[in-house]
Amino acid sequence: MTAAHGAGAAGRSVGRALRTVLQDTVREAVRGRWIWMSVTGALGVAVIALFARSLALSEDHQLALSFAAPLARLLAVLIVALSAIVSVSREQADRTLQLALAAPMSRTTWVAGKALGLVAIALVTALLLALPVAAFGPPPAALLAWTLSLALELAVVATVALAIAVVLTQVPPAVCAVLGFYVLARDLHVVQLLAQRAHDYSDLGPAGPVLQAIALLFPRLDLFTRTDWLLGTPPDAAALGLVCGQALVYGLLTVTVASLDLRRAQFA
């Protein structure tokens, strides 16, 4: 057997392993009623936005979009984060993770397959939760950009949840950690702007540089999936390019973290 033939066989084996883990992840999420959760969530968002619109004395279209888009975004993040955490935690608790690793599959391959499965879940969730927003008739190009950005944001959240679930293993602390991460990723830039405007960091003492350093390690989710794109200020190519780049970099970063942590884990 030549080296090339061996490399090709190894590649096909890794590809089969990736596909297997991906399919198992998606199948398990479907069994866990993930699609029903997303559909129900989308209906809930539509109902809330319709109710808000019924209260509006003016600008009812803009008001409905201003309620539907952020609610859909937040709900999508919750659904994807919970699905990812429960998926990983269940595999660790049921020891199906050890069973998978007993097969000729590296830990990195398992993490990569899991990430791909969770990203697939994120994409479908983004499409489902974009439906109630689309129902209020935003400009098509803006809606397309918003949905693409939502899918990328959910992919980042999915990989972050994967890494945190691998490290923390228990569901409650993992959920708290992912939600805290998400809130910081959305709000940290606003906090920085306020600190710069008010005190220029001088009154923060040693906390100032620490805050700036922490901000460098978080993704700029405040630039993703912005509601004002739907309200008449669509994103330009540079803004979308930044969103795509940030999603790719952070997704690969968190998958690497998960892989490194899983490599050093000892299973009984």
Partner 1 sequence: MMPATAPTASTPSARGRVAPAWMALAALLAVQVVVALRAPDTWHLEASVGTPPAPAVLRLASLDEPALAAYGTDLYLQGYDAQAGALLPLRTADYPAIRAWLQVAFDLNPHSSYPLMLAAFDYSETAHLQDAMTHAAAPQAPAILDFVERGYRADPAAHWRWLAHAAWVSRYVLHDDARALAEAHLLRIAPPAAAIPEWARELDTYVLGRRDPIDARRALLGGLAAGSGGTPAQDLERLAGRISSMETLPGSKAPNRDAIDALIPAFPPSSKPEDGR
Residue 65 or 112: which CB sits closer to partner 1?
A: 65
Residue written as token pair 């949840």: 161
Residue 145 or 255: which CB sits closer to partner 1?
A: 145
If phi > 0 it is left, if psi is from -120 to 50 it is alpha, else beta; for residue 225 that is left
Member of 13, 19, 43, 59 binding partner 1 (CB under 8 A): 59
Q: Are 65 and 231 in contact (CB under 8 A)?
A: yes
Tell me, letter by letter, the H, E, C secondary structure of 16-61: HHHHHHHHHHHHHHHHCCHHHHHHHHHHHHHHHHHHHHHHCCCCHH
What is the total count of residues that contact partner 1 (CB under 8 A)?
25
Using the rule CB under 8 A, is 56 a contact of partner 1?
A: yes
Closest separation in Å from C-beta 27 to partner 1: 32
Closest separation in Å from C-beta 233 to partner 1: 8
Q: Are 227 and 66 in contact (CB under 8 A)?
A: yes
DSSP conformation class of 226: -
Using the rule CB under 8 A, is 239 a contact of partner 1?
A: no
Member of 94, 187, 200, 203 binding partner 1 (CB under 8 A): 187
Contact string 74-93 vs partner 1 (x = CB under 8 A): x-------------------
Using the rule CB under 8 A, is 200 a contact of partner 1?
A: no
Stretch that binds partner 1, among 105-113, 135-143, 226-234, 252-260 (CB under 8 A): 226-234
Stretch that binds partner 1, among 61-69, 128-136, 153-161, 258-266 (CB under 8 A): 61-69
Burial class (CB in 10 A: 0-12, 13-18, 19+), 238: exposed
d(CA 200, CA 204): 9
Closest separation in Å from C-beta 102 to partner 1: 37
Member of 32, 70, 139, 173 binding partner 1 (CB under 8 A): 70
Question: Which phi and psi (to 5°) does residue 192 adopt?
Answer: -60, -45
Question: What b/e string do you get for 166-195 counting C-beta neighbours within 10 Å, with b at 16 or more?
Answer: bbbeebeebbebbeebbebbbebbeebeeb
Residues that bind partner 1 (CB under 8 A): 52, 55-60, 62-63, 66-67, 70, 74, 183, 186-187, 189-191, 194, 222, 227-228, 231-232
